[in-house]
Amino acid sequence: MKSEDYFEHVAGEIRDRDMRSRFLEELQEHWEDVDGPADADPSATLGESALLSHQVNAVVAQRSVGWSIALMLFSCFVTWILGSTISAYIPKFTFSFVSLAELLTFTLWLVVAFALYVTVHHRLAMYPSTAKARAIPCIVAFFAPLGFTMYELVPPLLTGATGYDISYSIRGFASGAALLVMFLLAGEVVRRYLHVTDRIIGSVTRWLPWFVAVYVTIGCAMLIWNNALSDGPGAILAAPFVVPLFVAYLCWALLSTAPMTLLPVMTGFWLVTAAAITLGILVPVGVWIARRRLAFPLRLALGFTLPIFLILPFVPQDVPVNTWQVPVVWSWDSLERSQLNVVYPWAASLMRRNDGMNASYGAEIENGSLRVIQAGGVVVTFEDRTPVVRANKEVVDDAIYNDFPTSGFACDGTLLETIWDTHNDSTSPMGMFGSGCGELTYNGHVIGTIDHALIDLDVSSDGLLAVSINMGSYDPTYVYVLDISQLQ
């Protein structure tokens, strides 16, 4: 059709997709202003002009929807590949109904995210703006926390898993909803004051795809090396969520007076890994993509998925199936104090969380053996508990949160309640609380010297104390098991 060719010819002069959208809209307005067809397109009559306007909109809309669907399918495919790969690499991760539910949830998240993308993009066709077009991927990218929340929420509902802390999901979902409202409000402000913000946001977001790519790369690197091995594909979605968490934690750690010998090593490792991947692979690939002027959503999709593919080879692949054990290094200087070194990052891959409450360590004695527990699941069993504890109680409860008050404990004279002020009343599965502990006392008795920041404290009813210490990882690196039964 000649008139459509004319559109394409004229609009083809503008390479930038967002600017083309704006240009097409202005062309539409222009033709509406034209008194007669002779002033505009010689081939167009007034009626044709209106028809062409619709065609312009249709072209823009079809492209948006087309790209979005393609992106969604591509992401689903990547998810499938990723899930299969992780399933193959990690023992105990079988394609169970739970993992199927996770996959469905992940897909659902994609559908929701890109339905939103398409919807907003249609609005863009009505109110085109380079700035807003560039801001949309930002919204999609930051929807990852919502995806993470859904990942947490839906599988237990589908499978009827018990012991799941529903409040965790509700809080997470509320956070996601708050994020959504926040971004919508921000979008509305941008729309209303577009003439002011257009230029600023336009220049800021010019580099957004690269920002997203680097951001997700770092997040994925952190997750892969830290916790994603045990969390599956859904955790990848949490990458943008983890980055600020990591930054916050790093600030906290740097401000802490505790000597964290491992932290700089792990931090450096993450950053070097991320930087090497970004500079060595991602940037050249990105330049290649940019030179071919691929459409923006595709660039964004590649920004999301390439890091995952690039990082996968770095995932440890030699985890022995069926014969896995937690690598444990014993060292103790007294019968009262034993140290369980959980070697990182293997522990992260082996300590499965089965009820959504990770980073919760406890200890219990059953049939004469000591068991260290995480999230209700036994991490390791020590048949001979003699060198570990002196307690004799045979009947114990699982040592989980809030079973035992933390009153009576103090670190260098500071009551732990003041440090873990939210701990006693919280069901939060993880809290970055505490500071360099130093001398840990209970009811005035020194029970250990712990020169690290504490992350968690769990006491079983039979007087076993599990002190979890974070050394830069998401999960505790060290777990001290102490017998305080004599002191109660």
Partner 1 sequence: MQLPPAMMKGVADIVVLQVLDKHGESYGYELVQVIGRASKDAFAFREGTLYPLLYKLEDQGLVESSRKATDGGKVRRYYRISKKGKAHLAEKTKAYLGFIEGLQSVLEFGV
Q: In angstroms, rounded to a whole number, what is the distance separating the alpha carbons of residues 208 and 185? A: 20
Task: Assess 14 for contact with partner 1 (CB under 8 A).
Answer: yes
Of 14 and 262, the one with the shorter C-beta distance to partner 1 is 14
Min CB(199)–partner 1 separation in Å: 8
Q: In angstroms, rounded to a whole number, what is the distance separating the alpha carbons of residues 336 and 482? A: 6
Of 195 and 444, the one with the shorter C-beta distance to partner 1 is 195
Q: In angstroms, rounded to a whole number, what is the distance separating the alpha carbons of residues 305 and 71? A: 11
Q: Which of residues 178-197 bind partner 1 (CB under 8 A)?
A: 194-195
Task: Assess 207 for contact with partner 1 (CB under 8 A).
Answer: no
Considering only the stretches 20-28, 44-52, 86-94, 284-292, report the one whose residues sit in contact with partner 1 under the rule CB under 8 A: 20-28
What's the DSSP call for residue 472?
A: S
Please, is 280 exposed, middle or buried when counting C-beta atoms within 10 Å of its C-beta (0-12, 13-18, 19+)? exposed
Of 24 and 464, the one with the shorter C-beta distance to partner 1 is 24
Task: Assess 32 for contact with partner 1 (CB under 8 A).
Answer: yes
Task: Assess 204 for contact with partner 1 (CB under 8 A).
Answer: no
Query: Using CB under 8 A as the criterion, what x/- string covers residues 111-140 for binding partner 1?
Result: ----------------x-------------
Of 6 and 309, the one with the shorter C-beta distance to partner 1 is 6
Considering only the stretches 33-41, 116-124, 244-252, 454-462, report the one whose residues sit in contact with partner 1 under the rule CB under 8 A: 33-41
With CB under 8 A as the contact rule, the residue among 1, 5, 8, 30 that binds partner 1 is 30
Task: Assess 42 for contact with partner 1 (CB under 8 A).
Answer: no
Query: Interior CA angle at 138 toward 23 and 221, to 5°?
Result: 135
Min CB(25)–partner 1 separation in Å: 8
Task: Assess 70 for contact with partner 1 (CB under 8 A).
Answer: no
Task: Assess 54 for contact with partner 1 (CB under 8 A).
Answer: no
The count of other CB atoms within 10 Å of the CB of residue 173 is 16
With CB under 8 A as the contact rule, the residue among 5, 29, 403, 421 that binds partner 1 is 29
Please identify which residue in the block is written with the tokens 């559908």: 111
The count of other CB atoms within 10 Å of the CB of residue 452 is 24
What backbone phi and psi angles, to 5 degrees, belong to 430? Answer: -155, 140
Task: Assess 13 for contact with partner 1 (CB under 8 A).
Answer: yes
With CB under 8 A as the contact rule, the residue among 2, 5, 21, 34 that binds partner 1 is 34
Peptide bond into 155 cis (omega under 30): no
Q: In angstroms, rounded to a whole number, what is the distance separating the alpha carbons of residues 406 and 457? A: 8
Of 27 and 479, the one with the shorter C-beta distance to partner 1 is 27
Min CB(419)–partner 1 separation in Å: 53
- Encoding tokens for residue 252? 């906290």
Task: Assess 27 for contact with partner 1 (CB under 8 A).
Answer: yes
Considering only the stretches 27-35, 67-75, 279-287, 312-320, report the one whose residues sit in contact with partner 1 under the rule CB under 8 A: 27-35
Min CB(23)–partner 1 separation in Å: 5
Which residues are within 8 A (CB) of 356 and not within 5 positions of it... i.e. 6 or more apart? 152, 156, 164, 165, 168, 169, 375, 429
Task: Assess 33 for contact with partner 1 (CB under 8 A).
Answer: yes
Q: In angstroms, rounded to a whole number, what is the distance separating the alpha carbons of residues 141 and 377? A: 33
Considering only the stretches 28-36, 70-78, 212-220, 297-305, report the one whose residues sit in contact with partner 1 under the rule CB under 8 A: 28-36
Rounded-to-10 torsion of CA 61, 67, 68, 74: 160
Q: In angstroms, rounded to a whole number, what is the distance separating the alpha carbons of residues 148 and 375? A: 19
Considering only the stretches 6-14, 302-310, 314-322, 463-471, report the one whose residues sit in contact with partner 1 under the rule CB under 8 A: 6-14
Of 124 and 212, the one with the shorter C-beta distance to partner 1 is 124
Q: Which residues pair with 382 in a beta bridge?
A: 370
Min CB(299)–partner 1 separation in Å: 20
Rounded to the nearest 10 degrees, what angle do helices 46-89 and 97-126 cross at?
160
Q: In angstroms, rounded to a whole number, what is the distance separating the alpha carbons of residues 328 and 343? A: 7
DSSP string across 298-351: HHHHHHHHHHHHHHGGGS---PPSS-----EEEEESSSSEEEEEE-TTHHHHHS
Of 32 and 366, the one with the shorter C-beta distance to partner 1 is 32
Q: In angstroms, rounded to a whole number, what is the distance separating the alpha carbons of residues 399 and 404? A: 8
Q: In angstroms, rounded to a whole number, what is the distance separating the alpha carbons of residues 339 and 449? A: 12
Q: Is the separation of the CB atoms in 326 and 346 below 8 Å?
A: yes
Number of residues this chain uses to bind partner 1 (CB under 8 A): 18
Of 14 and 289, the one with the shorter C-beta distance to partner 1 is 14
Q: Is the separation of the CB atoms in 344 and 477 below 8 Å?
A: yes
Min CB(206)–partner 1 separation in Å: 11
Task: Assess 26 for contact with partner 1 (CB under 8 A).
Answer: yes
Q: Which residues contact partner 1 by CB under 8 A? A: 10, 13-14, 19, 22-23, 26-27, 29-30, 32-34, 40, 127, 194-195, 199
